Amino acid sequence: MILNAAPNGLEQVRIGLIVSRKVARKAVHRNKVKRRLREILRTWIPYLRPGWDLVVVARPPAREATFHELKRVLWNLLTQADLWESEPPPLEPPTNTPT
């Protein structure tokens, strides 16, 4: 995955997701990746520093990744970009339930 971040001068975080046909040929698979990423980011918005535009670009391995793998990768990208407002949310250990 790739994370692009730019200041937006607003008091909010805006997020865009890009999942191209290179990730998955079928729309149903692309939409599944987008739903997972959207859910991860939805729960993290209160922890993110306001005033940034974020664009998450999924790469082909995202199609086969589990929810927790996507979460870990995205958490690492946000940490490297120093986009957490204060303390980042904890990463829960993955459970053995199917995704």
Query: Quick check: is 98 in a domain?
Result: no
- Across all residues in the chain, what is the average pLDDT? 92
pLDDT beyond 80 at 98: no
Residue 35 domain boundaries: 2-80
Q: 87 in a domain, yes or no?
A: no
- The answer to the question of residue 89 being in a domain is no
> SS3 for 7-41, per residue?
ECCCCCCEEEEECCCCCCCCHHHHHHHHHHHHHHH
The pLDDT tens digits of the residues spanning 64-81 come to 999 999 999 999 999 999
Number of structural domains the chain divides into: 1
In this model, does residue 37 exceed pLDDT 70? yes
List the CATH number of the domain containing 23: 3.30.230.10
